[in-house]
Amino acid sequence: MTNLVVLIPIALFLGAAGLAAFLWSLKSGQYDDLDGAAERILFEDEPSRQREDSP
């Protein structure tokens, strides 16, 4: 029973910390562009240049 006195506040604190981190990530715009990084890797910004000494 004494274990619950310690474990319940720890669980509540960790849950609140997780919720606060999630709300911070929403507020800072971490989830604004979910598909951008996935599509950006498929397209090159500049055409690749070959070295002059390659055959």
Q: What digits encode the pLDDT tens for the residues 1-55? A: 899 999 999 999 999 999 999 999 999 998 888 888 788 888 876 666 666 655 5
CA distance 14 to 8: 10
The whole-number pLDDT of residue 6 equals 95
Q: Which stretch of DSSP H or E encloses residue 8? A: helix 2-27
* pLDDT given for residue 18 in this prediction: 98
- Are 3 and 9 a contacting pair, CB within 8 Å? no
| Sole residue written with tokens 């506040």 | 9
DSSP 8-state symbol, 50: P
- Cβ(21)–Cβ(15) under 8 Å? no
